[in-house]
Structure 1
Amino acid sequence: MNILFLADPLNSFKTYKDSTFAMMREAARRGHQVWACEQDDLVWQHGGQVQAMSRQISLTGDADDWFKVLQESVVSLADMDAVVMRKDPPFDAEYLYTTHLLTQAEREGARVFNSPQALREHPEKLAILEFPQFTAPTLVTRNISAVRAFHAAHQDIILKPLDGMGGAGIFRVPADGLNLGSIAETLTRDGTQTIMVQAFLPAIAQGDKRVLVIDGEPVPFALARIPQGGEVRGNLAAGGKGVAQPLSESDWHIARTLGPILAARGLLLVGLDIIGDKLTEINVTSPTCFQEITQQAGFDVAARFMDALMSKTSA
C-alpha cells in the first residue's frame, strides 16, 4: 500500500516522541510505501485532481537523520491507498482551506483519515459542547462581562484560546481575581476574539489524561500529563510529566460513549482530554502520546492504529 502522510516538515519531527513518526515506522515495518507532503504542496487545477508534490521516504533507524528520500513526485491523492492528515494545530484559515481541498480529493476517490469534513465540524475545544454531561462548567464567549460573571460564580477558573495547542495561552485566575481583566482583554483581543473559560479542576494535580480512541475503541491505557514545578498545565510541551496508567471507570465510560459516535462521523483517531472525571477537549487534528503509552505500558498504539487504517482501506 501507498500511504501519504500530510504533516509538518519532516525535519521538525522529534522522533523519540512523535506519534506520526510511530505511524510511519509501523507502516514501513509492514512493508507499506511511506509518502509525505505538507499543506503548501497541495494543488488543484481545473480539469485535474487534487495533487501534491510528495516524497517517498525510507526510515533509516538513525535518531537524527531518520529518513531518506527515495523519490519526489507529483501524486494525485486519489491514487494513494490512504491519506493520513496529521498537520498540527493551529486550526487557522489555511488549515480550513486544506480540509476543503481534501474534501475535493475525497470526491475524486481519495480515502482521507481523519475525515476532512469531520475535522471542520469538531474544533478541538468546542467539540465538547455536544457532551455537557461529561464536562465541567464551561463558558464560550468574547464578552468580558460574561467572563467576569463566570468568575464570580465559580471563583477559580481557567481561560484559554480556542486555537491553541500544547498548553499555549492558558491562564488560571483564582478567587482573588488578580489580573482577570487584563487576561480576559488579552485573550479576547478586547472583546473581538472568542475564548473558552472553564471551572478549575483540582484533579489536574493527578494529571490531564490523554485517552486515545481508535475507530471507536478506547486504548486501554491513558497518558496522565502531570503538571510540574507549580505549573497549572499538564501538557508535555509545557513541561508536564507523562505517566501511562490504565483507564479509570469514568475514562472507560466517557470513551465508550463518545467513541462510536465520533467514529461514525469519520474520526478514525481521537484524543480525549480528561481531568478527573471531566472531559475538557476532544482532539482530532493530530492526537499524540502513542510512543509514551507504548514505551511505558507495553501497548502498541501504532499497531492498533495501523490495523484500523488497513481495515478502513480494505472495506
Structure 2
Amino acid sequence: MDVGIVGLGLIGGSLGLELRSQGYRVLGVSRRPETCERAIAKGIADRTSTTFDILSAAQLVFLCPPLDALRPTVEALIPHLDPEVILTDVGSVKAPIVEAIAPLWPRFVGGHPMAGTAEQGIEAAQSGLFRNAPYVLTPTETTPPDCLATVAEVVRSLGSEIFTCSPHQHDQSVAWISHLPVFVSAALIASCEAEADPAIKALAQQFASSGFRDTSRVGGGNPELGMMMAQYNQQAVLRSLLTYRDTLDTVIDQLQHQNWDALNRQLHNTARDRPPYVAQPVAPSPDSPP
C-alpha cells in the first residue's frame, strides 16, 4: 500500500519511519524542500515533494499539519486525490475537525495518536514512538466501515493500542488528561515566576529536581500546541479547568482552616485514584476494532 503523509514533523516523521519498517511505501509532503531532503536521508519516506501531486498514487493519507491548517490542507489536496483514497488526521482535538473535514471528504476517519515528546520537527522523529501507546479513532455514523477497518489495520501495524469513541467523547477525555495538564503546568511555572524575592526565585531554580521537571514539562512545551487545544477544545477545557479550580479552592480552605483530617483524606484519595490513569501497558477498550 502507498501511504501519504502531509507534514513531516515529529508525528508525521515518526509515522513514516514506522510505516516503512512495516513494508508500506511512504509518500511525504512538506512545504520546505530541506525537510523533504531530510526525510529521504533519515529513511522517513520513499519519495517526497513540496506539492500534493505526489499523493495521487496513495490509498491512505495521514494529515499531520497543525489543527488550524487541516481544513485548508484538505481543500487544497482534494483535486489531487483518487476518489477512493482514505484520509485520516492526527490532531489532538476531534469534534471540530471531523465536522469540518467529513463533509469535504466522506472517506475520512478522525484519529489521534496519544504519543509525542517535548521536541518538534523532523529531527525529533523516532521509531517506536507509537508502540504500546493509545491511538484513538473517532468514527461517526457516516464513516464508511471499510475506511475504519483500513485505518485500524495500518495503525495496528504501528504497535499501538486502538480505541474507538465519538469525537465529543474523545475531546472531553483528552481535556482531562492532556489539555488540562498543559494549563495547570503553565500556571505552575507562571506562579513560580511571580515570586518577588529574586534570592528565593534563584534558590527555587537551583533546588528544582525531578518533581518540578515532571509537573512543568507540558506547560513549558510548544505554545502553539497549547493555543490550538484552547481554541479548538474550548468548552471541554473550560469545564475541566473550572472543576480543577474548585478542587484547588477546597484544598486552600482546608489549609486556611487547618482541617488536617480532610486534607489527609484528600491526599489518601488521590494516592488511591492515580494508578488507573498511569498503568501500563494500556488494554484495548471493549469497542476497539478486532
Higher relative helix content = 2
Higher relative contact order (CA 8 A, sep 6+): 1
TM-score by length of 1: 0.32
TM-score by length of 2: 0.34
Q: Which has more radius of gyration?
A: 2
